[in-house]
Amino acid sequence: MIQFDNVHKQYSDGTQAVNGLSFEVEEGTTTVLVGPSGCGKTTTMQLVNRLEEPTEGTVYYDGTDIQELPATELRRQIGYVIQDIGLFDHMTIAENVATVPELKGWDDDRTDERVDELLDLMGLPPEEYRESYPGELSGGQQQRVGVARALAAGPDVMLMDEPFGALDPITRENLQDEFLDIQEEIETTIIFVTHDINEALKMGDKIAMMNDGELVQYDTPAAMLEAPATKFVEDFIGPDRTLKQLRVLQVSEIMRTEVPDEHRDVVDAFDPADTVMADGGELIPVTPTDSAQVALSRCIQAGVRALPVVEDATVIGVVTEEDIRGYHADEIEATSE
């Protein structure tokens, strides 16, 4: 969908913002550009919608050199979400979301239907928020509107420049979770910029680690954690790389569909309709898409060695503390060989 072919960007003062980038963003996936301030990640993203122009090399959009596409037309095809959101304060939420569809000439019925659909998707019931103004919403709600506006015309590509960076940690994590759920539905190709390695590991199908305008490593989160390409990547990930590996390991990868006899009591004592067990303790189950880190944390909190894995209010298996630690030990041994 998006391809960088030996792309350079040098400013008139001699600053080399991007140096020889070559990588491809696959259709329907999220690629996160991550690295320290000034590493070139935002410039790289803005090369896609021609807010920046390459000095050398080529950026392709669906096989076409973007220099062959009119900048205004290109930008109307690409959703754009920024940290400061940029909503129009004098316009209602519905009017904000409708901005691009109206620029593209959609009729009123089609626009209204799309606005309502997206507000519902963002957890903002249209009957409650349609006629509100940005100043009446919380920061998290405004960010949801910003995402809805970026999606309004059904773009094949969306650029997100530190979209959750200005939010408090709880709101930020909630929006990350919600956006991951939304992405499963919309399957848009996304380029996401952040300086936070934890956010990159959580949000990305692929991570492009950058430093001094160069691409240092382009890999899946799991592969990058298992085998950092350079000392820079290893240092940027941080000393808790072992624990971060648990964040990208899903319960579905280690769960057992048949419950071992030694853990049968935990599953039998669990009622999906009520997390309080017979002995009065609380047992919070996990889903197949939860991380191994979440599973291990809940095991420790509940004082148990196994947790039921639940999907659609039905127990479909079990994940054990031994499985989590055993998988992790196996990965460390394999990496060290």
Question: What would the DSSP string read from start to end of 180-221?
Answer: HHHHHHH--EEEEEES-HHHHHHH-SEEEEEETTEEEEEE-H
E-strand spans in the chain?
2-10, 16-25, 30-34, 56-61, 64-65, 78-82, 157-161, 189-194, 206-211, 214-219, 306-311, 314-320
* pLDDT category of residue 275 using cuts at 50, 70 and 90: low
Tens digits of residue pLDDT in 132-170: 999 999 888 888 898 888 888 888 899 999 888 777 888
Task: Give the pLDDT of residue 335.
Answer: 43
CATH fold for domain 251-336: CBS domain Like (3.90.1280)
- Alpha-carbon Rg for the chain in angstroms: 22
DSSP code of residue 95: H
Residue 334 has pLDDT above 50, yes or no: no
Domain ranges of the chain: 2-237, 251-336
Q: Give the pair of three-digit tokens for residue 147.
A: 């995402």
Provide mean pLDDT across the span 239-246: 86
Most confident of 2-16, 75-89, 111-125, 181-195: 2-16
Tens digits of residue pLDDT in 77-116: 898 887 777 789 999 999 999 998 998 899 999 999 999 9
Lowest mean pLDDT among 52-56, 81-85, 257-261: 81-85
Task: Write down the architecture of domain 2-237 according to CATH.
Answer: 3-Layer(aba) Sandwich (3.40)
Does the predicted TM-score (pTM) go above 0.75? yes
Tens digits of residue pLDDT in 11-41: 999 999 999 999 999 999 999 999 999 999 9
Provide mean pLDDT across the span 161-186: 82
Residue 332 has pLDDT above 60, yes or no: no
Residue 336 has pLDDT above 60, yes or no: no
Provide mean pLDDT across the span 314-318: 89
Residue 216 has pLDDT above 90, yes or no: yes
* pLDDT category of residue 273 using cuts at 50, 70 and 90: low
| CATH topology agreement for domains 2-237 and 251-336 | no
pLDDT, the chain, mean? 88
Q: What are phi and psi of 273, to 5 degrees?
A: -85, -10
